[in-house]
Amino acid sequence: MPLFDPTLRHPMRFPDGTVNRCIAHLPAVIDHPNITVGDYSYANDFDPPEDWAARLAPYLYPGAPERLVIGKFCQIAHGARFVTASANHAMQGATTYPFAIFDHTALEAFKGAFETLPDTRIGHDVWLGHGALVLPGVRIGNGAIVGAGAVVTRDVPDYAVVAGNPARVLRMRFAPEVVAHLLDLCWWDWPPERIEAALPALVSGDPAALA
């Protein structure tokens, strides 16, 4: 079966040919200067929004100091959200109240706390479960799985399965040598024809068979 067209807005169809508008191919629906999404990554939402960027990363405004970077072939379930660094309140003072967002003349007193905010980076082939929450500055490694309702407060290793609040590593998906093999292959960067040919191996229980 050939890979779907990466430029499609809604890449999934039901058996009767009806387009599933709850699933959106993110590179086709997000046009935001602070968000980069790799080919074939999608999100699912049972109340599909007009603005997918605002739904997924509601605190990330155009021109913010930080970025959200999502790799290729990521799968983002309903309710998953990215709380990016601009959502934080300055914490070094006696109060965390954000006076400056209501009175821009107060910005000078606050700007030092927001000049260098960390990016949030999601690797390739990452699955974010229903209602997962990814907090500012987190890096989620390639091939990781984030359980439903997890709150990710720290970096997640490649091919780890994490769950809970705060999210913790439950197990690794593969042995270290298999993880190293997959990272070396970088199959997500292959041309579509090669990925199509490798699909049986990609979905099998023996990823080490990939070459």
Q: Residues 44-86: pLDDT tens digits?
A: 999 999 999 999 999 999 989 999 999 999 999 999 999 999 8
Whether the per-residue pLDDT at 110 is higher than 70: the answer is no
- Res 1: pLDDT: 45
Model pLDDT for residues 187-210, shown as the tens digit of each residue: 999 999 999 999 999 998 888 788
**Residue 141: C-alpha distances to residues 9, 32, 49, 51, 104 (Å):** 26, 23, 27, 26, 38
- Res 102: pLDDT: 86
Beta strands in the chain (DSSP E): 23-25, 35-37, 42-44, 68-70, 75-76, 81-82, 120-122, 127-128, 133-134, 139-140, 145-146, 151-152, 160-163, 168-172
Catalytic residues: 89
The whole-number average pLDDT for the span 127-134 is 98
Lowest mean pLDDT among 34-48, 109-123, 181-195: 109-123
Query: Which structural domains are found in the chain, ordered by start?
Result: 23-173 (2.160.10.10)
- Res 148: pLDDT: 98
